[in-house]
Amino acid sequence: QLYKRKEENGDFRGGPARSILFGLGADYKWLAVLYAVCLIASFALGFNAFQGNTVAGAALDSLGIERIWTGIFLAIGTGLIVYGGIHRIAKVADVIVPVMAFGYILLALLVIAMNIGELPGVIRSIFANAFGFEEAVGGGMGAALAQGLRRGLFSNEAGLGSAPNVAATADVRHPVSQGITQSLSVFIDTFVICSCTAFVILLGKVYVPGAEGIDGVALTQQSLVSHLGEWAQYALTAAILLFAFSSIIYNYYLGENAMSIMTNKAFA
């Protein structure tokens, strides 16, 4: 927030690369460019591929749609939105994100309400398997932490340095207010939504410890079907599509913002 700059069109631009450039000075532009290159590479080759593959897998499992068609749909839809710049991206995200989050939380709460008697046992199981003596001695706790860190990067990106690029676009009176908003987003995204997924899976009794060949999306779909019936997997597929789609258009802005550091030109 302190090192963001207002563009000629009135939009704010910021983020770690600009903090390096304007905070440390022009002598460190090479470091800002290095950060920008790393961000573009990681999101273009990693995050977008992961999110696109997730929604393609969900569409294949529930609707029988081949992955190539899902990829084409995502590419066309993303292009239509990002062509309108950051304002259109923000408008689409303002609609998609609350709807998908609220709808998914409602599904999870319905599952929890239907199995409320088993909830205490599930919570005990989570803590027992995460912090038990055998898990600590056997390396299970370390493996759980490592897995949590990996999943956390894809869930909320806390500590990654990407979210400040978008947070800087907000026009706020004080940086602290935007910081609180960003902290709240991490809480909702990870603590609330990810916990909902955990409860849905554990209450569904579909997961078999040590089982191979099943990913998280398919496991969540099967668990929802066991609770609510076949229609639930289609609702989950729609939610995943919205989650992934909003993430991909968000990732585009990150790359565009990073590119502008290297070229001194805004592309959106």
pLDDT tens figures, 40-70 = 888 877 788 888 888 888 888 888 889 899 8
Averaged pLDDT for residues 213-240: 82
112-148 pLDDT, tens per residue?
999 999 988 888 888 877 666 665 555 556 666 776 6
Q: Which of 32, 40, 67 has its CA nearest to residue 252?
A: 40
Q: Where are the domains of the chain?
A: 5-263
Q: At what angle do helices 216-228 and 48-63 cross, to 10 degrees?
A: 40
Given a contact cutoff of 8 angstroms between Cβ atoms, the answer to whether 161 and 31 are in contact is no
Q: How far apart are CA 31 and CA 155, in angstroms?
A: 27
Which of 22-26, 196-200, 240-244 has the largest mean confidence? 196-200
- The pLDDT confidence band at residue 268, using thresholds 50, 70 and 90, is very low
CA 101 vs. chain centroid, Å, equals 11
Given a contact cutoff of 8 angstroms between Cβ atoms, the answer to whether 3 and 23 are in contact is yes
181-223 pLDDT, tens per residue?
778 878 888 788 888 888 988 888 776 665 566 667 778 888 8
DSSP state of 161: S
Averaged pLDDT for residues 152-168: 73
Q: How far apart are CA 156 and CA 187, in angstroms?
A: 9
Averaged pLDDT for residues 17-41: 86
